[in-house]
A = this chain, B = another copy of it.
Amino acid sequence: MIENATFRHSMPAQIRFSDVDQFGHVNNSVYFSLYDLAKTTYVKDVLSGRMKWNEVGIVVANISANFMSPIFFMDNVNIETTTVELGNKSFTLLQRAIDPETKMVKCECRTVMVVYDLKAQTPMQIPEDYKLAICEYEGRTPEELSKKK
């Protein structure tokens, strides 16, 4: 069930006491806050100097997550992120919440992100230097990442 992928980007997550629900589990909605933060960190780390924050927006179009195993308050959790598909106007991130010691994958998530022209308020082509930066970071060719998987 768990997708085979190489994750070069990993962010330790700080679990808050308020994240935990009545059953002692980190609430489902919190996973998406953590994925969201990891996405922001990933984009910043991968694109850094190239980001045109005022011109190019990145918008979540679809999120799909499999919950394998609960996260408890005392658990160590890293959020790993990689790009698995790079289209013309959208790209897909694969993320997972993993225990860095046991390597147990607690949850896995795919997010389709659409690149957005903030002035025209319409989807736009992903800038070429964005694509290059992602390919370079991931050690993949544009052809490898353009294939649907």
Interface residues of A (CB under 8 A from B): 13-14, 16-18, 20-22, 24, 27-30, 32-34, 36-37, 40, 59-67, 73
Instruction: List, in ascending order, chain B residues with CB within 8 A of A22's CB.
Output: 17, 20-22, 24, 73
Given A62-B65, A66-B62, verify A28-B32 contact (CB < 8 Å).
yes
A16:B33 contact, CB within 8 angstroms: yes
- The residues of B that contact A37 with a CB separation of less than 8 Å are 14, 16-18
Contact B64 A28 (CB under 8 A): no
Q: Which residues of B contact A17 (CB under 8 A)?
A: 21-22, 27, 33, 36-37, 40
Rounded to whole Å, the gap between the CB of A94 and the closest CB of chain B is 14
With A16-B33, A21-B18 as contacts: A64 and B67 at CB distance below 8 Å: no
Q: A14-B37, A22-B73, A28-B63 are in contact. List 4 more A-B contacts (CB 8 A).
A: A17-B22, A62-B65, A63-B64, A64-B65
* CB proximity of A101 to chain B, nearest CB, Å: 19
